[in-house]
Amino acid sequence: MKDFVIVGSGVAGLRAAIEIALKGKKVDIYTKESIDMCNTDKAQGGIAVVLREDDSKESHLQDTIRAGAGLCNEKAVRILVDEGPERVKELIDWGAKFDRRLDGSLDFTREAAHSTNRIVHASGDATGHEVERTLIEMIKKLPIEIHEYCTLVNILCKENAVVGIRILKDSGFEDIPARRVIVATGGYGAVYKHTTNPEVTTGDGIAAAFLAGAVVEDMEFVQFHPTCLHIEGMPAFLLSESIRGEGGILINDSGEPFMHRYHKLKELAPRDIVARSIIFEMQRRGAKHVYLDMRHLYKDFIKKRFPTIYETCLNYGIDITKKPVPIAPAAHYTMGGIKTDEEGRTNIKGLFACGEAACTGVHGANRLASNSILEGLVFGKRAALAAISYEDEPIFNAKPLPVLSMGNAPRNIEQTICEFKATIEKKAGPIRTIKGLEEFLEYGKNLWKEVKDMRNSRQSIELRNMVLIGLLVATSALKRKSSIGAHYCIDTPHLNDKNHISLSYKQLKEFIGEN
């Protein structure tokens, strides 16, 4: 039996594993792809952290709460801003190379909804890759066993306590008995058709925890990044918020700046507002996209500050120093997840969660730019410490579980996934209606009946998880009676709504009428 099992290999999971190993414990990491295939590795912008003398933790806290539309858990935010600087200094001590000025000091930039420059970054626009590289290098020095290409099927419980996980490998199902499980599988951005996320982010950990009895919270809050490369037939590619922080301007198909029509902060308004403003401008102009214009910035600065973005766009035939870039919003970050306390504990004994898979309330209704890697570092460590302090009970002497058959696929999985992604984006995307949400819920209910027991392949398990996540998003959205933050429904009023929408499996079944 394993003492500590972590599912997921992004910043939160790796930081949790390192903490456990540094305390002299053995830990196993299970991940769906290679260890570096995760949202963390793709993150561009940076890490928001108070390391400048003329900045303050109180300012960072207030910016976070303001961006979160007042729905943040202030206790969790205080933990984030208080412990964040030490976690970033740790990274630097472990070898992370952040960009610096000529005098050797850290180079700070600014992103939307921040009141000052407090974003540290690496290789211009490859911060996540540098963070992931640093953590993986640390992992290699410690007694941590990595298991790649393992799809999470179920979290196994008995009497509301974890007894292990069930995974799918090429060889079939395998049950891993475990005393403590930390879910760090990331969010669910890939349930949408247009997303900046890698395809692996299908909400697997959230779905498995929910089916095991964990409560989820704030699932309606899906953040759409405003500026993603939009070329027909091509996947969305993130154009970092830092571009607007450095002076990039949004223009419409006539070359006119338009953000002044929608918010006083223009390009530096909170992400949800910028994303909706772009959609409204596209609708007003009858256009499929708008443009991000950097031509007024120095060419050498653009190439040095945003090398990944520059090279990627060049591969698509767009020189961002000479031409504006066609962009449109795409699903990017999910604020909802497994409900935890500030230590990563869930309502299931021995089950912990951290990072984007968890919901501590730190992001409220809308994440502040560049708080996500910081959250993974801070709460990854805290979840690890809580897991170490957890004492299991004799309940773990469980009888062997029955072996599952692979089952059958009653429909074309790939086609169904494509249809599902397009449907949820249309009905439960950045701009919603009551009718659209109800139509999606009916569609999702019928599909769930077909897919909930499917497990003949990784794709079928992912489809099961995506449909379940979709039901949770739509149900939570319909239960919320006002528009706030990333949940924007044109049929509901804009109120200072302080409520959180929590759901258990029993509550979901009652809402969708499942027996």
Q: What is the pLDDT of residue 389?
A: 96
CB distance 340 to 360 below 8 Å: yes
Q: What is the pLDDT of residue 42?
A: 82
Is 110 marked active-site? Answer: no
Query: Would you call 510 exposed, middle or buried from its count of C-beta atoms within 10 A (0-12, 13-18, 19+)?
Result: exposed
Q: What is the pLDDT of residue 406?
A: 55
How far apart CA 247 and CA 297 sit, in angstroms, is 7
Question: Which pTM value belongs to this model?
Answer: 0.94
How far apart CA 190 and CA 484 sit, in angstroms, is 23
How far apart CA 344 and CA 353 sit, in angstroms, is 5
Dmax (CA) of the chain: 69
How far apart CA 346 and CA 182 sit, in angstroms, is 10
- Write the Ramachandran bin of 431: left for phi over 0, alpha for psi from -120 to 50, otherwise beta: beta
Sequence letter at residue 107: D
Residue by residue, DSSP assigns 105-174 as PBPEE--TT-SS--EE-STTT-HHHHHHHHHHHHHHTSSEEEE-S-EEEEEEEETTEEEEEEEEETTEEE
Q: What is the pLDDT of residue 245?
A: 87
3 state DSSP class of 278 = helix
- pLDDT, mean of each 10-residue run, the chain (515 residues): 96 98 97 92 89 96 94 97 98 96 92 90 92 96 96 95 95 92 97 93 97 97 95 88 92 96 92 92 96 95 93 95 96 97 98 98 94 97 97 55 54 92 97 97 95 88 97 97 94 86 94 82
State the catalytic residue, choosing from 118, 166, 179, 271: 271
Q: What is the pLDDT of residue 77?
A: 98
Q: What is the pLDDT of residue 494?
A: 84
- Residues in Cβ contact with 208 at an 8 Å cutoff, skipping those fewer than 6 apart: 152, 153, 154, 155, 165, 183, 465
What domains can you pick out in the chain, each with its CATH number? 226-330 (3.90.700.10)
How far apart CA 252 and CA 255 sit, in angstroms, is 5
**DSSP element (H, E) containing 330:** strand 325-334
Q: What is the pLDDT of residue 396?
A: 46
